[in-house]
Amino acid sequence: MADPGPLLVYGPRSTTYDFGPAHPLTPRRFGPGISLLEALGAVPNLAPEPATDDELDWVHEAGYLEAVKAFSVDPAAPSRAGIGPGDTPAFAGMHEASAAVAGGSLRAMEAILRGEVVHAFHPGGGLHHAMPARASGFCVYDDPALAIARVRRDGLRVLYVDLDVHHGDGVQAIHLDDPGVLTLSIHETGRYLFPGTGGVNELGEGMAAGTAVNVPLEPGTGERPWLAAVRALVPELAAAFGPDVVVSQHGADGHAWDPLAHLNLTTTAMGEAARLVDAVAHRHAAGRWLATGGGGYDVYRVVPRTWSLVWLAGAHRDVPAATSADWRTRWATEAARYGQTPLPATFDDPPNAGEPVDAAQDAAERRSTATVALVRRAVVPRLLREARDRGWWDPLGAAPAGRPADVEPPVATTGMPTILPVVDAATWDKLVLAGGVLAPADPGAGHALIAAGLRDGLRATLAVSGTSVVGAALSRPVDGTSRADMLGLGVAAGWRRQGLAGRLLAAHVEGPPAGVDELAAELSVADRDPRDPLDGRLRRDIARRLFEAAGFTVRSADAGLRTADPAAIVAVRAGT
């Protein structure tokens, strides 16, 4: 049977979210948007109805709901709670219309959680700027944050991927101190664009340190650095974090033709990003994926194709060669009225949307590429970066079938585990990796990754109980130097607080391989157990004492890394 595609959320209430004819977030987008989806065979099959007040209360304050309801009956009331003339004006019925957007995303998520569908797409959703007590940036109720809150009520973990050109500030703020929600936003830098936030140093606090990730790109940046950020960070963060559900926001306003922002993206890149999110959901979250729309103000040429590409990704279908000729004919006159012609004949765009990359774009892209590298260094565990860059591991590859792994490690009972100072590949193959020792979150993938590393210069010191690896210290010589870098140091949750990490490190620094006379470790927010996190500051203090006790000198990391993670440290042990 053909894949019916994602549950498609759209109905009569979708077009009631309407700030008026002069507002950029216009319900006119649903006309060409839904009809292009229908031309692909998509059928809207979930009509949004308003979420209840109890549901909206999960992320919004009661006084704010009262304010929205008051504007709903009296749109002329004086401005408050972010509602009034400007970005988010009042309109009659705005509570019901806004609650219906929230309800669409909530019902879609419930269908996913019940297992009725694996994927759902809500093009009218993605109102990611709404705050607990304030409307912002065309957004009244925060439907992605509510869908995430619904998942959290079931105790499941969420990866949120925000591809809108604007920082996903509301979703980030609402879930900022929840270590069970990882938000990733890739956007135009707030130095030039609303809402002004989303810097590389917004990483989350306390137990949730490392669960907010932001990639601010320079104005003028095109698809290559943007896709580089998506391709690197989405699969690597998913592998490290281990989500149960993926929620994504596919604003189309990063497109080169969008009138409100300054990135130079293409529908081609947006489609590839959607397919990558789909692949990540299947590899890391049992397929559970809610996609939403978002911004997008070129509503004839760009928004419909972007929505179609997201839907096609969720339907696991190839991109057709051409957009429907009937669709182009049907919307040509209306598109011309708004200066958005001609309607493109293809879903994908030519490279760089058909424009040459000039010197200014090239300079912007160099800065953006450096930002992507910096963010990856700060938030992706070193072991995963090294493993991917060296070809030990593919975060989207099939789950390894070989050696089983213990998701729940054996509980520490009597006696300490045995320390194996140096382990070869043959020994490793007989062992099982416990969960939570090291990234990735899936210990089966971790076992395969380390097996590949051991054939490529990785040095492993292990703590073993029975056949179960409950702690590990890993390093590898840096090519062309006499230094080795620590790639990971970890102990499974049930085996912590008894000095095991210190014993592992002490054993690891003994007898380094020939030619290595210095061992270095760089520690950032990436170095954490995402399932059993410690307060970020406490974790850093423990690491500092641990490395100093093993003869390392600990200092602040270089200024570059500290722009993202001010508390990042480097530990160096010379003369081993």
Which amino acids are annotated catalytic? Answer: 129
Q: What are phi and psi of 73, to 5 degrees?
A: -95, -20
Strand 289-292 relative to strand 418-420: parallel, antiparallel, unpaired? unpaired
CA–CA gap between residue 223 and residue 227 (Å, rounded)? 6
Shortest CA distance to 494 belongs to which of 524, 452, 459, 465? 465
User: Dihedrals φ, ψ of 168, to 5°?
Assistant: -80, 65
Site track 227-266 with Zn ion (rule: CB under 5 A), x = hit = ----------------------------------------
Which one, 233 or 281, has the nearer CB to Zn ion? Answer: 281
Q: Give the CA distances from residue 437 to residues 252, 398, 529, in Å, rounded to whole numbers and listed in that order.
A: 39, 21, 8
Instruction: Dump strand ranges (E) for 372-482.
Output: 418-420, 432-433, 459-465, 468-477
DSSP output for 58-74 = TTS-HHHHHHHHHHHH-
Residue 6 CB, shortest distance to Zn ion, in Å, is 8
Count CB atoms within 10 A of the CB of residue 162: 30
The torsion defined by the Cα of 308, 313, 317 and 319, in degrees rounded to 10, comes to 50
For residues 169 and 278, which CB has a smaller minimum distance to Zn ion in the complex? 278
Closest approach of Zn ion to the CB of residue 316, in Å: 5
Q: Which is nearer to Zn ion, 118 or 433 (CB)?
A: 118
Q: Which residue stretch of 64-72, 273-281, 383-391, 454-462 sits at the interface with Zn ion (rule: CB under 5 A)?
A: 273-281
Q: What is the total count of residues that contact Zn ion (CB under 5 A)? A: 1
Nearest residue to 435 (alpha-carbon basis) of 472, 473, 386: 472
Give, for 507, the enclosing helix (H) or strand (E): helix 500-509
Structure tokens at 312: 């096609």
Nearer Cβ to Zn ion (188/272): 272
Nearer to Zn ion, 119 or 382 (CB): 119
Quote the CA–CA distance of 441 and 239 in Å, as a whole number.
6
Least separation in angstroms between residue 313's CB and Zn ion is 7
Tokens of 267: 């529908």
Q: How far is the CB of 347 from Zn ion (least distance, A)?
A: 18
State the Rg of the chain over Cα.
25
Q: 236 vs 278, which CB is nearer to Zn ion?
A: 278
Near Zn ion in 377-396, by CB under 5 A: none
Contact flag: residue 142 with Zn ion (CB under 5 A): no
Question: Which window, 120-128, 276-284, 526-534, 541-549, contacts Zn ion (CB under 5 A)?
Answer: 276-284
In this complex, which beta carbon is closest to Zn ion, that of residue 288 or of residue 508? Answer: 288
Q: Which residues contact 512 (CB under 8 A, 6 or more apart)?
A: 484, 519, 576
Range in contact with Zn ion (rule: CB under 5 A) among 159-167, 271-279, 320-328, 511-519 = 271-279
Give least dist CB 281 to Zn ion, A.
6
User: Which of these ranges, 270-278, 346-354, 438-446, 462-470, lies near Zn ion under the rule CB under 5 A?
Assistant: 270-278
* Residues 424-483 close enough to bind Zn ion by CB under 5 A: none
Span from 251-259, 278-286, 498-506, 514-522 in contact with Zn ion (CB under 5 A): 278-286
Angle at 221 between CA 215 and CA 226, to 5 degrees: 50
CB of 310 to Zn ion, least distance (A): 11
> What DSSP assignment string belongs to 51-113?
PPHHHHTTTS-HHHHHHHHHHHH-TTSPPBTTBSSSSS---TTHHHHHHHHHHHHHHHHHHHH
Residue closer to Zn ion by CB (options 262, 284) is 284
- Answer for which of 278, 406, 442, 529 binds Zn ion (CB under 5 A) is 278
Are 152 and 180 within 8 A, CB to CB? Answer: yes
Contact characters 164-193, Zn ion, x per CB under 5 A:
------------------------------
Nearest residue to Zn ion, scored by beta-carbon proximity: 278
CB of 122 to Zn ion, least distance (A): 16
Query: What's the min distance (Å) between Cβ of 238 and Zn ion?
Result: 14
Residues 74-133 binding Zn ion (CB under 5 A) are: none
What residues contact 432, with CB distance under 8 A and at least 6 apart?
A: 403, 404, 405, 406, 443, 447, 467, 468, 469
Kindly list the residues in this chain that would bind Zn ion in the complex (CB under 5 A). 278
